A and B are shown apart, each in its own frame.
Chain A
Amino acid sequence: MASRLSRIWPVVSRVRWSSALGTRCVSQTPKSSAAGAAVVSDLQPVSPALQDSHGHTEVNPFETNPDFHGFHHHDSFVDEWNMRLAFFFGISVAIVIGGTFIHYLPDHGMRQWARREAERLIKQREAEGLPLMTENYYEPGKIILPSSGDE
């Protein structure tokens, strides 16, 4: 019995029994004001204004569940799984996989192709010494105008 205990003692002694048993330890180090402001102080008497119609007070959910994620106030299992689902479907599926899908969408309206083609043509024409673009869109010789004069 003593040999068994001596084998598991290092592990056992490291467990924080007080937190496992549900009691709270009061830290003796003086808190800085910033840290103190972020923790709901339980040094104040509970005023009637803080109580709802049933006489319950605003309980800090972090006291019953230090790993409270903000999803379910009383059941830490549901709270944790809600967090996991929200992160998985929100970030891993919607943003990551969705973002990959969007990244690989085809070039709609050939806009990127048009930019690449223009750059290629500019490079080619500058190398050959040609003007980048002809001034007239239509050939002037092919335009047939009505004769001036009364119709």
Chain B
Amino acid sequence: MADEVILLDFWPSMFGMRTRIALEEKNVKFDYREQDLWNKSPILLEMNPVHSKIPVLIHNGKPVCESLIQVEYIDEVWPGINPLLPSDPYQRAQAKFWGDYIDKKVYASARLTWGAKGEEQEAGKKELIEILKTLESELGDKIYFGGETFGYVDIALIGFYSWFGAYEKFGNFSIEAECPKLIAWGKRCVERESVAKSLPDSEKIIKFVPELKKHFGIE
């Protein structure tokens, strides 16, 4: 029996992008279902009752929630192709540490670059640059975070790369000026088919931000 894989997602979500990329890396055919987050569907509420958030991966009727948990799940279910996590326990732990770091740090400060004004916005910009510099330092001279092969940490971060243009425009600053190696990494990742298929155009995100602000009641 063929696997039935459904992804409940929202096109600008940097978290949803992770799961899309992981599925593409594994050549898994999936049914992408765009969700209206301002009007949540019954299936979303049923499949993620605890958080009501996307992405939700539904594999043969069973839901898996939380993007990095989904990435790991996908790696475990379809191990034969493009491993996403290293097999060495120490390297795995390092990958998970950085995935956790990205999860805990990037979104909150990034949001302030477009969602806040004045001092709060400046603080957000400063913090985001510090966080990205830390990540850039971790990347070092490697091609990808995992070394020679594209994997978990790259997947955890690359969705944010599609938002960099928006952060720069609305925050009025340059990420490339501060983190050129990270930008170079982003460009390399986007050359991968799985990433190119999964990331929206930067321009589209920039156009989306005013709509997002309106929804949150931010001017």
| A, B in one complex | no
